Each structure stands twice: as C-alpha cells, then as structure tokens.
Amino acid sequence: METAWLLPDLADETAAGFWAACAEGRLVVQTCGDCGARRMPPRPMCPHCRSTAVVWEESSGRGRIWSFIVAHPPLLPAFAAEAPYNAVIVELEEDPAIRLVGNLVATADGAIGEVDPATITIGEPVEVVFHRIDDVSLPRWTRRAD
Ligand code: ZN
C-alpha cells in the first residue's frame, strides 16, 4: 500500500548510497573521497575541496538529541492524524557536526507520536533504527541507556 507520507526520491543519485545502506539496516555518512570531510545531507561535491569523489562511511548509529520540536496541526493531512509528534535533530557520536532529522520512537515500527514529548530532553542518548514505508527504509531514533 502506498503511503501519503512524503518520502525521499530513491532515484536521486546523490543520496542513493545513503538510502541503499538504510535498506540494509546500516547508517552511513557521505564522506569526501579526497579530503575525508563528512557531509550531511548528501551533496555531489565536497564543500571543502570541491572533489566529487565519494565514500560512504559506516556510522555507529549512535548519537544525542541536539534539538527537537513537537508538531501540531495545521499539518499535511497524512501527518495531522499522527499529531502531536516529535521531530528530533540528532548529532552523531563520531562527528557532532553531522546531524540527521528524524522521529524519536519507542520501537522501530511504532507511531511517530508514541513518545510523550514532555519526556524528551536535549542531549539524550539515542540510536538509529529503521522503519520500512513502501520501498524506503527511514532512519528513526530510539532511546539508549547510557
Ligand atoms: Zn573534500
């Protein structure tokens, strides 16, 4: 069944490596094949050295909540039914300058509004999980103990 959610374009060559890894349950970060600088979101050229060489570096999938919001209507219809829900920005453990946007959930396939927003704190340790929607594996975040 097709979802009404907004999903990434898997045919986009620049980000294809990211989404292919997600489909395998791995979180990767685009890294310059020449100078080694990491970048997110994926881009065709390194902003530091202008190289187009790309390496997909495996991430630990661990990070901390850098910021978050709680979404309330008005929202797109597919998302209004889920509200209120959180959207978190996570900084990765191996490089806090690399930040990803997602939802904090209790379980990989849980509803995006299942975590009580009042319990979310900046700096909270999280780890990635993947949730399949149509042909996309979306990275999401769950709490971790340490
Ligand atoms: Zn570079």
Percentage, residues of the chain above pLDDT 90: 90
Please tell me whether residue 20 adopts helix, strand or coil conformation: helix
The answer to whether 88 and 120 are in contact (CB under 8 A) is yes
14-90-99 Cα angle (round to 5): 35
pLDDT at 66: 98
Phi-psi region of 123 (alpha: psi -120 to 50; beta: other; left: phi over 0): left
Whole-number average pLDDT of the chain: 95
Task: Categorize the per-residue pLDDT at 4 as very low, low, confident or very high, splitting at 50, 70 and 90.
Answer: confident
Query: 51 C-alpha to center of ligand 1: Å?
Result: 5
Q: Where in the chain is the domain with CATH 2.40.50?
A: 60-146
Query: 121 C-alpha to center of ligand 1: Å?
Result: 34
Mention every residue, 6+ apart, whose C-beta is less than 8 A from residue 28: 17, 18, 21, 56, 57, 58, 59
Query: 48 C-alpha to center of ligand 1: Å?
Result: 5
Distance CA 41, CA 101 (A): 10
Pick the residue with more confidence: 137 or 2? 137
Task: Categorize the per-residue pLDDT at 102 as very low, low, confident or very high, splitting at 50, 70 and 90.
Answer: very high
* Average pLDDT score over residue span 65-81: 93
pTM: 0.92
Query: 13 C-alpha to center of ligand 1: Å?
Result: 18
* Average pLDDT score over residue span 27-55: 97
* Average pLDDT score over residue span 35-52: 97
pLDDT of 1 > 80? The answer is: no
* Average pLDDT score over residue span 14-32: 97
Pick the residue with more confidence: 43 or 5? 43
pLDDT digit string, tens, across residues 111-125: 999 999 999 999 999
Q: How many CA atoms lie within 13 A of 55 on its CB side?
A: 11
User: Could you say which DSSP state residue 45 is in?
Assistant: S
Distance CA 145, CA 75 (A): 33
Helix (H), strand (E) at residue 141 = strand 136-143
Q: Which of 102, 104, 103, 146 is nearest to 125 (CA)?
A: 146
Q: What is the CATH number of domain 60-146?
A: 2.40.50
* Average pLDDT score over residue span 10-29: 96
